[in-house]
Amino acid sequence: METNPTYYGLPARVQLEELGENHLGIRKVIKSRIIRKDAEKIVQMARQIKSVNPAVEITLLCSRNICSKSLTLLREEQIEIGYID
């Protein structure tokens, strides 16, 4: 599984991790809370990845500081959430 963000047409600063076969994680560790605007950007990244490889599953790897609206949006887009402590 390719973890180079430029392969998917994403900025080089995006951190991708292979979590298994056809399973990628987008690592987003920030000190502040992940708000809906951040979640919308994550959804766009996931759509870009799926445009290159439709079979891939996406998981957001983040801290527990995430708002409920972001959680709802990510679930609607079938993006799993994995917490990093």
Over residues 32-78, the pLDDT tens digits come to 999 999 999 999 999 999 999 999 999 999 999 999 999 999 999 99
Res 40: pLDDT? 97
Say what the pTM is: 0.92
Residue numbers of the domain that contains 42:
5-83
Please give the average per-residue pLDDT across 16-43, as a whole number.
Answer: 95
Count the domains in the chain.
1
Query: Which residues are CB-contacts of 63 (< 8 A; sequence separation ≥ 6)?
Result: 29, 30, 83, 84, 85
CATH assignment of the domain containing 58: 3.40.1350.10
Residue 1 has pLDDT above 90, yes or no: no
Q: DSSP string spanning 2-13?
A: ---GGGGT--TT
Cα–Cα distance, 53 to 68 (Å, whole number): 29
